[in-house]
Amino acid sequence: MVGTIVNSIAIIVGGTIGTLLKVGIPDRFKNIVMQGVALSVMIIGISNGLQFSNLMVVIISLVIGGIVGEALNIEEHLNKLGDVLQKKLSKDKSSTISKGFVTASLVYCIGAMAIIGALKDGLSGDHSILFAKSVLDGISSIIFASTFGIGVAFSAVSVFLYQGSISLGASFLQGLLTKTVINDMTAVGGILIFAISLNMLEIKNIKVGNLLPAIFIPIFYQFLLNIIKRF
């Protein structure tokens, strides 16, 4: 959990600094910076998305995960939580606090570093990946918050709960987390990160939150394989 705690603190610090800087940055600079960040997120998504071991598992994961996420309406719950923060922190209806919270939460939780780092943190106490992620998230949160505002800092709560849960549950999943499974989870996460970049560039509005369960479908697939092999 140490890596997750450091990661969360880095996002809070970076988000706070970015919010303070937001006041003095002209909109045209904020727009071009955000476009640059979105393109960078796109490249990260593409590179991770190509790391699959079994493309069919990735496709099935996205389909099943999408159905589960849509049934649970995860995206709407995230947006509602963001709206609550926005109402508490700003009376301006045009405020981007909610959008900042949701976007940053998805970006920081979906990536391969979040999953693999949290697993290593829980299984072996190796915090190195999450420490490296903390540096990256801290820097990017400054950029995000300079455009979206303080909502980005609150995404630290999402990161803490998400990565913390993975770290705590890692020991129970150890037998299922083969290299193939991790590769397919990484690929699914990469595709979702790519989808986030499309949302950021306002090319297409994709309900990325409703696709989140897809990341964990490869684990269930491996679990079923293990049961079949026993018979």
Query: pLDDT tens digit string along 85-103?
Result: 777 776 665 567 888 888 8
As to burial, measured by CB atoms within 10 angstroms (0-12 exposed, 13-18 middle, 19+ buried), residue 194 is: buried
Task: Please determine, for residue 19, whether its predicted confidence score (pLDDT) is greater than 80.
Answer: yes
Of the ranges 63-72, 104-113, 179-188, 197-206, which one carries the lowest mean pLDDT score? 104-113
For residue 80, tell me if it sits in a domain. Answer: yes
**Euclidean distance between CA atoms 169 and 148, whole angstroms:** 33
DSSP per-residue letters across 68-122:
HHHHHTHHHHHHHHHHHHHHHH---TT--HHHHHHHHHHHHHHSHHHHHHHHHHH
For residue 231, tell me if it sits in a domain. Answer: no
For residue 169, tell me if it sits in a domain. Answer: yes
Give per-residue pLDDT as tens, 123-140: 778 888 899 889 888 988
Predicted pLDDT at 10: 94
- DSSP state, residue 125: -
Q: How many domains does the chain have?
A: 1
For residue 26, tell me if it sits in a domain. Answer: yes
As to burial, measured by CB atoms within 10 angstroms (0-12 exposed, 13-18 middle, 19+ buried), residue 81 is: middle
Range(s) of the domain holding residue 176: 2-226
The half-sphere exposure of 106 on its side-chain side, counting CA atoms within 13 A, is 32
Predicted pLDDT at 64: 96
**Euclidean distance between CA atoms 231 and 213, whole angstroms:** 28
For residue 206, tell me if it sits in a domain. Answer: yes
**Euclidean distance between CA atoms 115 and 214, whole angstroms:** 13
For residue 100, tell me if it sits in a domain. Answer: yes
- Could you give the angle at the alpha carbon of 136 between the alpha carbons of 130 and 141, nearest 5°? 115
pTM of the model: 0.79
Task: Please determine, for residue 107, whether its predicted confidence score (pLDDT) is greater than 70.
Answer: yes
